[in-house]
Structure 1
Amino acid sequence: MTATDPALTALAHSWSALSLLHSRIETRIERALQAAHGLSVREYSLLDVLSRQHDGEGGHLQMRQVAEAVVLSQSATTRLVTRLEDRGLLARYLCPTDRRGIYTDVSESGRVLLEEARPTNDAALRAALDEAALDPQLAPLVTAMEQLDASPRLLGQPA
């Protein structure tokens, strides 16, 4: 394949469309969450991922797993956890069975904020997808996204 290969050109156009859809969705959600709840998309995503943890076997995520789930580097995730902890939305504590491990849990105020923000997030996502579905270039991606089986394993979260 060469750089002018039609298959590569089509792939590049598809990637551009996917990137555009992601950007539109993230921008819409970011504006809505910031305006209504003072949360960024990343902060909401982190609270959401951590709220799905449980105390059973394999129920707590390692920072590497959290970073993968929120699509950030481990260092950026750690800084984000620290900011939310400083706001009282998260709490860290030592793993009771391995003192080297540190768990991060959503605090009660973090859970309240997350539950208040969830409908805002969902409505902004729906609005962004509805708008994108009107664009012939993005409509197939919206359809594909709506048909995805978003299992917890796919999203890097405990099952």
Structure 2
Amino acid sequence: METSGKSCVELGILNEEELINLGKRFASCLENGDILILSGEIGSGKTTFVRGIVHGLGCNPIMVTSPTFTLMNVYSCHKTVYHIDAYRLNSIDEAFYILEAELEEDDGIFIIEWGETLNQFFNEETINIRFEHIDENHRKVSLCVSQEILQRLRRCL
């Protein structure tokens, strides 16, 4: 499937442990400056996936919490992870105010939950991941990225 110049692929229907393992594998593919936009309803696995990424980057996954009330959590792992929750942001200006310096320096990996409304403000190089409830224990995970990023991800996944 292709969407606005991006290729979309299903990564599977996964349980919690498999979501964490996918995040760990994903961590090895990520480069400073990557922007991941995570979408899906509450409880669909977004923060669980981030735990896997943080673990894959050498940090304790227990420290990962949803940034709903803090707006942004920062994890200093092998690479710095900026974990943002856009759900409560009132405008794109708020998002850029929070991230401006880090975005300009491409210093770290940016993971934005509920970021689909911000997608239009980033270049086409975002990594869009959608989480959908299948049942109480399983989530369908889909990825939409440019062909260039898809090739990079395929090489390391």
Using structure 1 for the length normalisation, give the TM-score: 0.26
Using structure 2 for the length normalisation, give the TM-score: 0.26
Bigger helix fraction: 1
More relative contact order in 1 or in 2 (CA 8 Å, sep 6+)? 2
The structure with the largest alpha-carbon Rg is 1
Bigger strand fraction: 2
